[in-house]
Copies of this chain bind each other. A is one copy, B any other.
Amino acid sequence: MFKINENYLKLPGSYLFSTIGKKVAAFTEANPDKPIIRLGIGDVTQPLAPAIIQALHSAVDEMGRAETFHGYAPDLGYSFLRETIAREDYEAKGCQIGADEIFVSDGAKSDSANIQEIFSNDCKIAVCDPVYPVYVDSNVMAGRTGTYDPKTEMWSDVIYMPCTKDNDFVPELPKETPDLIYLCYPNNPTGSALTKEQLQVWVDYANKNGSVIIYDAAYEAYISQENVPHSIYECPGARTCAIELRSFSKNAGFTGTRLGFTVIPKELMCGEVSLHSLWARRHGTKYNGAPYIIQKAGEAVYSAEGKAQLKEQVAYYMKNASVIYQGLKDAGYDVSGGINAPYIWMQTPKGMGSWEFFDYLLEKANVVGTPGAGFGPSGEGCFRLTAFGTYENTVAAMERIKQL
C-alpha cells in the first residue's frame, strides 16, 4: 500500500490568506449592504502598463504565424530577457551578475518554495519573525523543521529571528549558526528596509559561517532612500554566499501574469559543486520555461516607455502608502514601514490581539487588513495594510479608520 508524505500533515491549519478570505466572505454574506475595502492581500489593482500590453499583443501575433511561432523555450529563460535583466537590474547598479546566472521562472513564490530542494534535508533554516509563510511551509513539507508547538506557534528546528519595534525590525545575528538564512528586504510584512551597511553584516556573517542567504528582493522597486540596496550583490562578498529572488509582480503588476527570476552566482559553491549547476538541473528536469509571450512582456518592463510608465505606477502605490501611514498616525496609531516598501505595519491598540483587531476593523470600518500573527509569533500585536488598493479606496479606508 502506498504511503503519503507525512510532513504535509504537520502543516497547521490553512494558509493565512484562505482564512482571511473565508472571514471576509462570511461578513459580506451577513452584511451585503456594507462595502468592503481590501487592503489585506498584496495583490495589485492597476492594469498592466501600455508598453507591456503592446509587447504582449505583438508576441501573441508572433505565436500565430509559422515563421515566428515559438515552441519550447530555453529552460532557463530566453537570452533576450536574461541579458536585459543582467544589464538593467545588475550592471546598471554596479553589480557583477552575468546573464547566465539568471534563471527565469513563473514567479518568486514558486522559486522561494522550490529553492530549498537543492539543499540537504539536514540543513537548518533561519527566518525573520514575522515572515512570508512560504519560506517556512516549503521547508515543513520537506521535513526540515522538526515538530510544531501550537502553544508557541514555532517549529523546533527553525531558528527564529524576531523583528519587532524593539530592534527597529532589523534581525540580530542568531546565536546558533543556520545553514540557510531567509531574508526579505524591503520586508514583507513589516515594510522595513536594511541599509547597505546592515545587509553587509549578513553577507560577512554568511561567508564566515558557511551559510547561504536566500534574499527575496521582490519589493526593491519601492525603495525610495539612497542608502538602501536594491540587490544583495551591491554588498561585496555576496557572490559566494547569496541567492537572490526577484519578481515582476509588484514593480510591474504581474501578479496574474506570472514572471520572476532567481540569481545564483557561479562562485556559490559547496565543495566542488556549484549551486548554479544544481538549480540548472532542477529547472531542466522539473520546469519547461516561462511562456514566450510573458517573457516578451517582461522585456518590455525595461524599455524606455515601460520604465517611465512603471515609475508612475509605483509612485501611485507609494502615494497610497503615504496616505495610510499619515492616516494611521493621525488616528493615533504607532506606525512604521511604507517608505521603502508598499506595506504599512502598525501596532494594534493595547490589549487587542492582531486577529481581534482584524475582526474589529472588518466589522466597524469594513476594512480588510492582515493580522500580524499570521506571519509568525512576533507578529502578534501588529497589523499589516497594503498600498496596492486604488487611491480612492485607500483614502476612504483611512477616513473610516479615523472615525472609529
- Chain B residue nearest to A294 in the complex (CB): B291
Q: Given that A2-B210, A210-B1, A285-B15 are known contacts, is A60 also in contact with B57, CB under 8 Å in the complex?
A: yes
Contact with B along A24-64 (1 / 0, CB 8 A): 00000000000000000101111110100100110011011
**Which B residue's beta carbon lies closest to that of A18?**
B284
Count identical subunits in the complex: 2
Q: By the criterion CB–CB under 8 Å, are A6 and B120 in contact? A: yes
Whether the pair B273, A119 counts as a contact (CB closer than 8 A) is no
A290 at the interface (CB under 8 A from B): yes
Q: In the complex, what's the smallest C-beta–C-beta distance from A2 to chain B, in angstroms?
A: 4
In angstroms, Cα B266 to Cα A34, docked, is 37
Task: Write out the residue numbers on chain B whose beta carbons fall within 8 Å of the beta carbon of A167.
Answer: none
Question: A117–B5 Cα gap in the complex (Å)?
Answer: 7
Inter-chain contacts of A63 with B (CB < 8 A): 47-48, 53, 56, 256-257
CA distance A44 to B292 in the complex (A): 14
B residues in contact with A110, CB < 8 Å: 286-288
Asked if B46 and A69 make an inter-chain contact with CB atoms under 8 angstroms apart, the answer reads yes
Instruction: Flag if B73 contacts A256 (CB, 8 Å).
Output: yes
Chain B residues within an 8 Å CB radius of A390: 66
Q: How far is the CA of A137 from the CA of B283 in the complex (A)?
A: 12
The answer to whether A118 and B64 touch (CB under 8 A), given A72-B43, A292-B257, is: no
Q: Are A286 and B114 in contact (CB under 8 A)?
A: yes
Give CA–CA (A285, B138) in the complex, Å: 7
Given contacts A56-B60, A257-B63, A285-B138, contact A180 B71 (CB under 8 A): no
The verdict on A118 contacting B66 (CB below 8 Å), with A43-B71, A134-B285 known, is no
Q: Which residues of B contact A367 (CB under 8 A)?
A: none
Question: A9 with B123: in contact, given A15-B285, A179-B3 (CB under 8 Å)?
Answer: no
Interface size class of A (residues with CB under 8 A): 35 or more
* A323 interface residue (CB < 8 Å to B): no
Query: Which of the residues B15, B65, B285, B288 comes within 8 Å of A284, measured between beta carbons?
Result: B15
Asked if A246 lies at the interface with its beta carbon under 8 angstroms from chain B, I say no
Cβ contacts under 8 Å, A48 to chain B: 63-64, 69
Is there a chain B Cβ closer than 8 Å to A282's Cβ?
A: yes
Tell me the minimal C-beta distance from A71 to chain B in angstroms: 4
Knowing A53-B60, A110-B288, the reply to whether A122 touches B293 (Cβ < 8 A) is no
Verify if A404 is at the interface (C-beta below 8 Å from B): no
CB contact list, A93-132 vs B, under 8 A: 106-107, 109-110, 113-114, 117-123
Cβ of A211 under 8 Å from chain B:
yes
Contact B285 A141 (CB under 8 A): yes
- Residues of B close to A170: CB separation below 8 A: none
- Give Cα distance in the complex from A293 to B47, angstroms: 13
CB distance from A90 to the nearest CB of B (A): 24
Chain B residues near A4 (CB, 8 Å)?
118-120, 270, 273, 275, 278
Cβ-closest chain B residue relative to A11: B281
Which B-chain residue is minimally distant from A67 (CB atoms)? B47
> In the complex, how many angstroms separate the beta carbon of A214 from the nearest chain B beta carbon?
11
Q: Are B278 and A8 in contact (CB under 8 A)?
A: yes
A230 on the B face (CB < 8 A)? no
Counting from the closest, the 8 A-B pairs by CB-CB distance are A1-B210, A3-B120, A113-B286, A2-B179, A43-B71, A53-B64, A70-B256, A47-B69
Beyond known contacts A2-B210, A109-B287: 19 more, CB 8 A cutoff: A1-B210, A2-B211, A3-B179, A4-B119, A5-B120, A11-B285, A46-B69, A60-B60, A63-B257, A69-B253, A69-B256, A70-B256, A73-B256, A106-B106, A110-B286, A113-B287, A134-B285, A291-B291, A291-B294
Q: Sample 18 A-B pairs with CB under 8 A, ordered by A number.
A: A1-B209, A1-B210, A2-B210, A3-B179, A5-B278, A8-B118, A8-B281, A47-B69, A57-B57, A57-B60, A63-B257, A71-B253, A109-B286, A109-B287, A109-B288, A255-B288, A291-B294, A294-B294
